[in-house]
Amino acid sequence: MSDVTVGERTEDKPAVEVDHPWWALVAVLIGMSMIIIDGSIVNVLLPNMVQDIGLTQVDTQWVNSIYSLIFAALLITVGLMADKHGRRLLFILGAIVFIIGSISSGASQGPGWLIGSRAVQAVGASMMLPSTVAVVNVMFSGRQRAMAFGFWGAVFGGAAALGPLLGGWLAQDFSWRWAFYVNIPVAIVSVIMVLKLVPETKGVVTGKLDIVGVVLSAVGLGLLVWGVIEGQQYGWWTAVSDWDVWFLHLDDGGLSVVPISLVIGAILVGLFVLWEFHRRRAGKGMLIDIALFKIRRYAFGNVVALIVALGEFGILFMLPLWMESVHQLDPIQTGMILATLAVGTLTAGGAARHVSVLLGATNVVRVGMVLEIAGIVGIALLMSTDRSPWWLVIPMIVYGLGLGFDSAQLTNVVLEDIPASKSGEASAMTSTFRQVGSAFGAAVLGAVLFSSLSNIFANDLDADNRIPEGEKAGLIEAIDVTAGQYILVMDQQVGQNPALAPAIEDAENAYTTAGQVTAYVAAGFVFLGLVLSYGLPRDRKPEPEPAPEPDSGDLTPAA
């Protein structure tokens, strides 16, 4: 398909007019579903990976967080590249890189290999996601734009929910490696459809790429996430193990490397913001267009997206580990429970457009956050060592409804006042805020989960006189290092060593309490996002829109 000119979007006219915009939307959503699924599919695979290639609890956090971290670090840069060189081109190149990372992930033979391969996947994903948002932003207007973002949000949330089910089925009936190999045909189908249906669009980009900004933002964010993840491993303030890299040597008992990493990361992020202001005053090209943050809806909306993302998907990191350790569910059973999230997500995503007509898009986002909070708190209340985990289906559906309303309309709200020529850059920034939130969410909630598990289990063992003193330290370390998966090993050995029975009981209770604490922290993040959402301006009332002409090739649903 030939290039088309990007005009200015109005209430009744899109910036780019194409023959079949809904089919073009389907093309990019197929690709987007793949990269979102791979952000959540590993959650249910982690127990298998722990046993197969020896992941530690720190490795499990990195397998999750490295994807979101690299994703977030590159989104701003590739958003500008998409505006300059073409959004369709970046999408296709990203799909190719994603295929390479997927093949390497499936072939991984150790933790380092897998984490590095996940980083390659993230590079490809970062090239694809901004293009999906930009396509919606330039090809639709008015109520059809709200509907298109509703579909976008439904696929975003639904894919995240269906990832664990797909991963569970593949892990149980085939191998966890096939969870990555299945990306190959999906990516090929998406690329073919995009080449045929999606026009090439570009934005207005001036100046050279801000290399200093890229380095400051990427390294700064990386050090912050690294510090949060490694706090349990090296100590939050006092070092619990030696650290020796190049010229830096920190001894056990002294200052930990973690606060150093966090402070340097925060300084680099601060320098990045100052550097962008400097380039703006000098009239040079910026990695972030600071002027966009003068748009109140865009500025507040991005902050809300960041805060909410801290709690939204971190809960999906904790639940599979808990269900498979404490209740010994197999991967497909775990995936089925988590997939019920999609029932709510797809229902809300499809209804979001109609509800937004009644309440306004911003209020729909708030309703979504209220439902998310209710669902997460319900998950915490229903977690139990005695009660079946299938009871979690009820709050999971409620949580899914909230996620569907929230994801479906938050991006629409954030980008509502952004010029079409800035779509790639602005949508990349919005996606960056979400991914930074997801990366920190997985890191923070993972730290809360494992710190709570270790401390609660240690306290319970100290108070339990049924367990020999000489075995307690080894049990604590084994539970900590294996992210709780050692409970399954103890259960297999209890026949030969009946003394393990009380330790299993203590470990299961500790894991359940730690999971509840983690859920409450996640709900707290979403609640903070809800409070901050009241800084958003009121929605504008849409003008009445005439009924569209019938088109046999159009996928527009009937109102």
**Is pLDDT at 555 greater than 50 in this prediction?**
no
Q: Which two tokens stand for residue 269?
A: 């992020």
Q: What are the residues whose beta carbons fall under 8 Å from the beta carbon of 304, sequence distance 6 or more?
A: 365, 410, 529, 532, 533, 536
Q: Which residues pair with 238 in a beta bridge?
A: 255
- Percent of the chain exceeding pLDDT 90 equals 12
Separation between Cα atoms, residue 41 and residue 51, nearest integer Å: 17
Strand 243-245 relative to strand 248-250: parallel, antiparallel, unpaired? antiparallel
Q: 557 falls in which pLDDT band (50, 70, 90)?
A: very low
- Percent of the chain exceeding pLDDT 70 equals 82
CB-based contact 130:87 (threshold 8 Å): yes
**Is pLDDT at 383 greater than 90 in this prediction?**
yes
* Predicted pLDDT of residue 158: 67
**Is pLDDT at 245 greater than 70 in this prediction?**
no
My answer on whether 263 and 335 are in the same domain is no
Nearest to 287 by CA among 208, 212, 210: 210
Asked whether residue 313 is assigned to any structural domain, the reply reads yes
Structural domain count of the chain: 2
* Domain C-terminal end among 257, 286, 315: 286
**Which DSSP symbol is given to 540?**
P
- Helix 423-463 with 57-85: angle, nearest 10 deg: 170
Per-residue pLDDT, averaged over 195-213, amounts to 73
My answer on whether 189 and 221 are in the same domain is no
Q: What are the residues whose beta carbons fall under 8 Å from the beta carbon of 481, sequence distance 6 or more?
A: 56, 57
Measured CA to CA in angstroms, residue 431 lies from 79, 272, 305, 504, 525 at distances of 10, 18, 9, 42, 18
**Per-residue DSSP letters for 341-356?**
HHHHHHHHHHHHHHHH
My answer on whether 214 and 191 are in the same domain is no
Q: Which residues pair with 249 in a beta bridge?
A: 244
Separation between Cα atoms, residue 219 and residue 69, nearest integer Å: 10
Per-residue pLDDT, averaged over 11-28, amounts to 68
Asked whether residue 382 is assigned to any structural domain, the reply reads yes
Separation between Cα atoms, residue 370 and residue 342, nearest integer Å: 18
CB-based contact 111:223 (threshold 8 Å): no
* Domain C-terminal end among 286, 312, 335: 286
Residues shown for the chain: 559
* 84-127 pLDDT per residue, tens: 778 888 889 999 999 999 999 988 888 889 889 999 998 998 88
Per-residue pLDDT, averaged over 355-378, amounts to 87
CB atoms inside a 10 Å sphere around CB 109:
9
Asked whether residue 497 is assigned to any structural domain, the reply reads no
My answer on whether 355 and 409 are in the same domain is yes
My answer on whether 251 and 350 are in the same domain is no
* 306-333 pLDDT per residue, tens: 888 887 766 777 888 888 888 888 777 8
Q: Which two tokens stand for residue 199?
A: 């026009």
CB-based contact 154:408 (threshold 8 Å): yes
Nearest to 5 by CA among 322, 294, 421, 327: 421
Separation between Cα atoms, residue 343 and residue 331, nearest integer Å: 19
CB-based contact 41:197 (threshold 8 Å): no
Per-residue pLDDT, averaged over 360-369, amounts to 86
My answer on whether 403 and 276 are in the same domain is no
Range of the domain at 267: 210-286
Asked whether residue 3 is assigned to any structural domain, the reply reads no
Asked whether residue 500 is assigned to any structural domain, the reply reads no
* Predicted pLDDT of residue 264: 93
CB atoms inside a 10 Å sphere around CB 81:
22
Q: Which residues pair with 248 in a beta bridge?
A: 245
* Domain C-terminal end among 286, 320, 349: 286
pTM of the model: 0.70
Asked whether residue 552 is assigned to any structural domain, the reply reads no
What is the rounded (10 degree) CA torsion for 442, 319, 165, 178? Answer: 60
My answer on whether 383 and 241 are in the same domain is no
* Predicted pLDDT of residue 7: 46
Asked whether residue 8 is assigned to any structural domain, the reply reads no
My answer on whether 302 and 380 are in the same domain is yes
My answer on whether 259 and 145 are in the same domain is no
My answer on whether 377 and 328 are in the same domain is yes
Q: E strand or H helix at 515, and its extent?
A: helix 500-532
CB-based contact 166:41 (threshold 8 Å): yes
My answer on whether 300 and 403 are in the same domain is yes
CB-based contact 53:109 (threshold 8 Å): yes
Task: Assign 250 to helix, strand or coil.
Answer: strand
My answer on whether 254 and 106 are in the same domain is no
**Is pLDDT at 382 greater than 90 in this prediction?**
yes
**Is pLDDT at 206 greater than 70 in this prediction?**
no
Backbone angles phi, psi at 31, to 5 degrees: -65, -40
CB-based contact 40:313 (threshold 8 Å): yes
* 214-234 pLDDT per residue, tens: 888 878 877 887 777 677 677
SS (H, E, C) 383-452: CCCCCCHHHHHHHHHHHHHHHHHHHHHHHHHHHCCCCHHHHHHHHHHHHHHHHHHHHHHHHHHHHHHHHH
Separation between Cα atoms, residue 312 and residue 330, nearest integer Å: 24
Asked whether residue 476 is assigned to any structural domain, the reply reads no
SS (H, E, C) 262-280: HHHHHHHHHHHHHHHHHHH
Q: Which two tokens stand for residue 130?
A: 């901004």
Residue 303: CATH number of its domain: 1.20.1250.20
